[in-house]
Amino acid sequence: MKRDTKIYQADNFNEICITQVAATILTLLGVTPLKQMAEPITHVIEKASPCDRVFMYNPDAVAMWIYEKYTDYFSEMEKEVSLKIPMLSVIPPVTPVCFGSMYTGLEPTAHGILKYEKPILKVPTVFDLLSKAGKKAAIVSTEGDSISKIFLEREIDYFIYKTKEKCNEKALELIRQDSHDLIVLYNGDYDYQMHRHTPEGKKALKSLQENIATYSLLRSYIKEHWTSHHTSLVFAPDHGCHKVYGFLGNHGENKPWDMNIMHFYSFI
């Protein structure tokens, strides 16, 4: 299949920021966001609310230009998707900064992570507000990665493992157990391979396809095991990526290829 090479050169920025995800999750689950949080995403709330389950799947570094160039990879998944939202990352578009904004509803200057570092956030997060509201949340992540570190010391369940496969296995188990209102699952394999083999390298694209397959598997499990719930399942990358030096990949620039991403919502 011929790929559109012009997509990578796009110079327009999306408008809906990932800071709006936090209030969206809270609103879907019937919890009032804090006033300082960015407003929820109207399109999502109008179509999905109310829900009593939210599953956030966070594959790392899947750029909007990758989605646009490899639409055939997403074609089967999109048959299951209820809503696509073009999203804008935050500056700098690096993982701990972005996930800090996604789950606090704040710009980096407000939540305090301004570069690639992984301190424990001291500001209120989605997880804190859900806990106060009597709801249960879980984070499933590979050890050492941002999501496994910056949201520690909350009254939630943490499942931290060495491999993506173990994380995904645990996420499916949690779906079967049906005891959490919010589950966050992080997969960093596309980002890992992209840095080492370019965003369009064979190993990176294989990881991308695995991420897409994981989303579909999660949907299948939710549909089977959460029959008594209304669920929002979200494919929500943190930032994009670009090619550097001819054979590597990177991110962190205030450019559309690093800032623009696509989020997918399945309402089940």
Give alpha helix (H) positions in the chain: 20-28, 42-48, 64-69, 71-78, 95-104, 108-111, 126-132, 146-149, 164-177, 189-197, 202-225, 256-259
The predicted pLDDT at position 8 comes to 57
Verify cis geometry, omega within 30 degrees of 0, for the bond prior to 59.
no
Report d(CA 56, CA 215) in Å as an integer. Answer: 10
DSSP summary character for residue 253: -
**pLDDT tens profile 190-233:** 999 999 999 999 999 999 999 999 999 999 999 999 999 999 99
CATH topology of domain 7-267: Alkaline Phosphatase, subunit A (3.40.720)
**pLDDT tens profile 19-69:** 999 999 999 999 999 999 999 999 999 998 689 999 999 999 999 999 999
Lookup: tokens for 26: 């809270």
Report d(CA 29, CA 256) in Å as an integer. Answer: 31
89-113: average pLDDT: 98
The predicted pLDDT at position 10 comes to 64
- Partners of 108 in the beta sheet? none
The predicted pLDDT at position 245 comes to 84
82-107: average pLDDT: 98
Contacts of 71 (CB under 8 A, 6+ apart): none
The predicted pLDDT at position 50 comes to 81
Residue-by-residue DSSP string for 66-85:
HHHHTHHHHHHHHTT-SEEE
Report d(CA 36, CA 24) in Å as an integer. Answer: 14
Residue-by-residue DSSP string for 196-247:
HH-TTSHHHHHHHHHHHHHHHHHHHHHHHH-TTS-EEEEE------EEETTT
